[in-house]
Amino acid sequence: MKKFFWHIKNYFIPTVGNKYHPHFFRKETAIAIGAVLVFLQIGYFLHTTLVFNKTGFLAAVLPGVLTALTNNDRATNGVGTLTEEPLLTQAAEKKAADMAAKGYFAHVAPDGTTPWYWLDLVGYNYTYAGENLAVNFTDSKDVEDAWMKSPTHRANIVKSEFTRIGIGTAQGLYQGKEVTFVVQFFATPASPDAKKILSPTPTKTTPVKTVPATELATSDDAPVPSKVLGSETKSTVSAKNPVMESIVSATASPNHTLLYIIGGLIALIATLLFLAIFIHVKVQYLGVIGGGLLLLGLAIGSFYFTAETRISNVNLPADSQSASTR
């Protein structure tokens, strides 16, 4: 064990044993770190193209991850947790499948179908309801961040009246690109005594009492890093193993996960370079400083490349008015 720590010290800290030249700053390490950074970028590409698009992994884990993110944002804003509602999930899945099959992305379908048609279709009785939509993304956190940056979408997420949530996904083509459609329904179930009359087979133009988006928040939303549509929504919290939840969340948010990894590497290199320079101020080697700066430059370059090219670049659709009812 003592020998192990001796090797660790020689690798990271300038000492007499390594002639004040930590092995971490040698050429071999620079090559290895460069290879790791390239491997991470390739891994990201394969994960977001093959794994997401060919296996349906993102569609499978996204509802749970978005539910957790939504409830985290609600907790931050002092609002109660949303509970998953199977009927809302069914309605969301039907709406997502309809958009994927017909290639549209809107609260109201081209044939006039409203969001509330899908709730009536599954027989869900509610007093408040809302819908959030998202498409064309590769990172679940990008979606949640986009919703929270949009006043109308944020209003749906933090609306205290909502107590239930259901999220559905579907794969399909949109603007010539294979994407995952996400529908997020929020609702407050009607009391058992409520007399909400629904037609046996709801029509696609079922009338509902609507509240304009301007009553919830301003409608001049700025572009955000995910292509989303706003209505009101909820999330689900599942009692899973915290470690597994963290792994699933990380794999469903590859953009942010990659940035966190590279950011951690930058912090490590900067710390070790600081120690290499100041532990023995009187003993300096240009090779150490040069190697450290080279490693730092590689990591920072990779970070900015990831930030500029990997983050989902989708804007709010033109018809981004928030859909809400009561």
Domains of the chain are: 15-54+255-311 (no CATH), 61-192 (3.40.33.10)
Residues of the chain with pLDDT > 70: what percent? Answer: 64
Look at residue 229 in the predicted model and tell me its pLDDT. Answer: 42
- Residue 158's DSSP bridge partners are none
Look at residue 316 in the predicted model and tell me its pLDDT. Answer: 42
Look at residue 280 in the predicted model and tell me its pLDDT. Answer: 67
Residues of the chain with pLDDT > 90: what percent? Answer: 22
Which stretch of 134-138, 145-149, 261-265, 321-325 has the lowest confidence by average pLDDT?
321-325
pLDDT tens digits for 198-252?
444 455 544 333 333 323 322 333 333 334 444 443 333 344 566 666 776 676 6
Beta carbons of 306 and 41 less than 8 angstroms apart: yes
Look at residue 188 in the predicted model and tell me its pLDDT. Answer: 94
Look at residue 55 in the predicted model and tell me its pLDDT. Answer: 62
Give one DSSP letter per residue of 152-209, joined into a string.
HHHHHHT-TT--EEEEEEEEEEETTEEEEEEEEEEEEEPPTT------SS--TT----
User: What count of other Cβ atoms lies within 10 Å of the Cβ of residue 237?
Assistant: 17
Look at residue 212 in the predicted model and tell me its pLDDT. Answer: 31
Tokens of 263: 């950011």
Instruction: Name the one residue in this structure whose structure tokens are 């949303």.
Output: 82
Which stretch of 49-53, 116-120, 130-134, 297-301 has the lowest confidence by average pLDDT?
49-53
Q: Averaging pLDDT over each range in 23-32, 39-48, 147-156, 285-294, which range is the top one?
A: 147-156
pLDDT tens digits for 32-68?
888 888 888 888 777 666 666 666 666 666 788 899 8
Which ranges of 77-124 would DSSP assign to H, the alpha helix?
A: 86-102, 115-121
Look at residue 239 in the predicted model and tell me its pLDDT. Answer: 45
Average of pLDDT values for 135-152? 80
Quote the CA–CA distance of 5 and 278 in Å, as a whole number: 21
Which stretch of 61-65, 138-142, 252-256 has the lowest confidence by average pLDDT?
252-256
Look at residue 79 in the predicted model and tell me its pLDDT. Answer: 94
More confident residue, 2 or 116: 116
pLDDT tens digits for 81-114?
999 999 999 999 999 999 999 988 888 899 999 9
Average of pLDDT values for 121-145? 86
Backbone φ, ψ for residue 246 (5° rounding) = -65, -40
Distance, CA of 289 to chain centre: 38
Look at residue 23 in the predicted model and tell me its pLDDT. Answer: 72
Look at residue 81 in the predicted model and tell me its pLDDT. Answer: 94
Look at residue 20 in the predicted model and tell me its pLDDT. Answer: 67
The residue among 208, 63, 231, 72 whose CA lies nearest residue 155 is: 231
Quote the CA–CA distance of 52 and 178 in Å, as a whole number: 11
Look at residue 192 in the predicted model and tell me its pLDDT. Answer: 65
Average of pLDDT values for 123-148? 85
Look at residue 122 in the predicted model and tell me its pLDDT. Answer: 95
Average of pLDDT values for 120-124? 94
